[in-house]
Every structure is written in C-alpha cells, then in structure tokens.
Amino acid sequence: MIFTQEVKTRIQDALISKGANKPCSVCNSKDLVLVDELILSDKSSGGKFPTIVTGCGNCGKIETFAANTLVPGLLPNGKVGEY
Ligand SMILES: [Zn+2]
C-alpha cells in the first residue's frame, strides 16, 4: 500500500506528536525520510504485521514502527486488507 498525501501527513503528525522525529541516533542528521509505503512483516504469527518505516537521509539508518500503535485508526480494524 502506497501512502496517499493525507496518510503521509497523519503519519508525520504522529511522529512529531510522539517525539519520534529526533535527529538520527547514528549520525545526528535531521534529514528524516518517511518510506511512503506500508511494510508488512511476514514473520508475525498472524502472517502480517504492518509497519511504518523511516530512514535517515544521510547515513541510511532505518527505524520501524508498529503502524497500529504509531497511528491508531490508520488501518480500519488494524488490518491492511480492509484499508
Ligand atoms: Zn543517520
């Protein structure tokens, strides 16, 4: 699922409101990049675990967030297929 601009804005607002927009923990760059696609882990017992991924635009360090925790209500019923 590629994020619409509306969804990207909701995610960026959540990152800010939850304090998850700090400078990179490796290189201290403030160049935070949001990967504009929902990433699914196929390792979870339920088969799908939607995650939101951000990366550092300088060194490439990647951070992952549980989509349903970072942005409650982003996915109806917490399920990707019903988005
Ligand atoms: Zn970095």
* pLDDT, position 82: 44
In the reported structure, the alpha carbon of residue 59 is separated from the centroid of ligand 1 by a whole-number distance in angstroms of 4
- 19 found inside a domain: yes
User: How far is 21 from 53, CA to CA, in rounded Å?
Assistant: 12
CA of 38 to the centre of ligand 1 (A): 21
**DSSP string for 14-80:** HHHHTT--PPPTTT----EEE-SB-EEETTSTTS-EEEEEEEETTT--EEEEEHHHHSTTSSGGG-G
Position 26 pLDDT exceeds 60: yes
Residue 55: domain span:
5-72
Ligand 1 centroid distance, CA of 16 (Å): 18
Instruction: Give the pLDDT confidence score for residue 80 in this predicted structure.
Output: 64
Tens of pLDDT, residues 27-61: 999 999 999 999 887 776 766 789 999 999 999 99
**Position with higher pLDDT, 47 vs 1:** 1
Residue 28 counted as domain residue: yes
Q: Residue 57 domain-assigned?
A: yes
Measure 83 CA to ligand 1 centroid, in angstroms: 32
Tally of structural domains, the chain: 1
Measure 52 CA to ligand 1 centroid, in angstroms.
Answer: 17
Quote the ligand 1 centre to 63 CA distance (angstroms).
Answer: 11
